[in-house]
Structure 1
C-alpha cells in the first residue's frame, strides 16, 4: 500500500494474524470492526459495514491483501469521533455549565442517539467508565470521555 508506511503494514499484519483464529491467512469479516479498533481506529458500525464487515460469522473472509486497503481507507475517514466532538456534544446536557451532567441523561444518550447501545452495553460502559455519580446524580463528563477514549486497557498503551 502506497499510503501505508512499512511499520503500519507490519503492525496491521501482526493484528491481522491475531484475528486469524483458524490460522488460514483469513479473518472473518464479522471481526473487521474489532480488528480496525485494535489498530487504534474508531470506525462507526456503518463504516465497518461499508468496508465489508458482516453481521454473521462465516459470511465472508478477508485476506491480508484485502484488509490493507480497507485499513488505509478507514484511517482516512473523517466520520469517527474525536475528543472535542464528544465534549461539544455532551455540553448540551451541562445545565449548570460546571462540567457535569445527569447520569441518567448520559445513559439515555447512549441508548437512543447515534449507533444505539443495548441496555447491557450501556450498563457495562457506565459501570466501567462513568465512575460514581454524586449525591444529586451528576457525573463529570470530561473524565467519562477521557476514560472511554483511552480504551479498555489504557495502561498497555505506551
Structure 2
C-alpha cells in the first residue's frame, strides 16, 4: 500500500460526479455531516471520528450547517485514502448510502458511478463485465449480493 496517493484527473472527475450526487442544495457544496458518507461511497472506510478530526472537530451545529466545496473535500479524501482499506461490510455500508428506498437495492446507474470511483479504478468494459446479470428488470442491483460477487472475483 503506498501511503501517498496522487489521484488521476479521471479519478478526480469521477469523485466530483459522486460528490455532486450528495449536493442537495445545488450550490456545489455538501454538508459537513455528509463527508463521511461520500467517502464511504467512494470506497473509503473512515471512522466518523477520523472524519471529524479531518474536518477540525466541528460541533454538532457545524456538522449540520457548515458546507464545503469539492476543492476542500479532495485533500480530505487523500488523507483518508492513505489509511488502510475496507472490508466487505464497509463496501456494503458505502453502497447503502445510495439505497434510497431502504430495500437492499441501488440503481445500476449509481452503482456504475461508484464503481468507477472505487480505489482500483475500473474502465467501462470491466464495469460491464462486473454488472452483467446483476441488474433486475428495473435497473436495480441487490448490493449485498453484488459486493459478495465483487469480492469473490
Whose RCO is larger (CA < 8 A, sep 6+)?
2
Contact 2:31 2:64 in 1 (8 A): yes
Distance 2:35 2:90 in 1: 19
**How many residues align structurally?**
91
CA RMSD across the alignment: 2.5
TM-score (norm 2): 0.52
Deviation at 1:21, TM superposition (A): 0.6
Distance 2:50 2:23 in 1: 21
Deviation at 1:9, TM superposition (A): 0.3
Q: Any unmatched runs of 5+ in structure 2?
A: 97-142
- Which of 67, 71, 75 is the matching residue for 1:69? 75
Deviation at 1:150, TM superposition (A): 4.1
CA 1:149/1:46 → structure 2, altered by over 3 Å: closer, same or farther? closer
Q: Does 1:57 align with 2:64?
A: yes
Runs of 4 or more off by more than 3 Å in structure 1? 53-56
Matches within 5 A, 1:92-107: none
Distance 2:38 2:83 in 1: 16
Q: Any unmatched runs of 5+ in structure 1?
A: 84-145
Larger Rg: 1
